[in-house]
Amino acid sequence: MEALTSEQQAYVDGLVGTARVKARDKANAESAATQTKATDDAAKATLAADAKWEALNAVNEARVKELEPFEAKAKEYDEMVEDMLKTKVKSLGETAGKAIKGLPDGLSVASKLKWLNANEELFQNAGGGVGTPKRVDSTSKDGKVAVKHNFPRL
């Protein structure tokens, strides 16, 4: 094979250079198109997620508005139960107050009141308020000691 003349070599170099430039431009265009498509897809996904979030947010806001009246009632009932407990403790005396303070901290006010109601007889005095507290079920029929304890369940 013969060597190319300098003119032929320049022509071939020109063709190869032009082909490289065209290939590079085509690759850059394809890359830009792919990147634009990926960006558009990401934007669509973000918009879809935002729309879904907005729909869920609207549902949650409606639910909150629906529950607002119940929150006020629950607070009112809690205050009422707390007042009932205070009144009950006051009527049964200092021993009942100490017993309530000795209950586990995790108990609700309603559970404490329920416990106090179940054990009310432990704090009532025999003989019109003077004397030893009355025991409930202190002895069984056969004469054995069988003290009844009504401890709250946790």
Q: Let me know the angle formed at the C-alpha of 82 by 96 and 118, rounded to the nearest 5 degrees.
A: 45
CA 12, CA 65: separation in Å to the nearest integer? 78
DSSP structure string for 28-63? HHHHHHHHHHHHHHHHHHHHHHHHHHHHHHHHHHHH
Whole-number mean pLDDT of the chain? 81
- Least confident residue range of 70-74, 122-126, 142-146: 142-146
pTM to 2 decimal places: 0.46
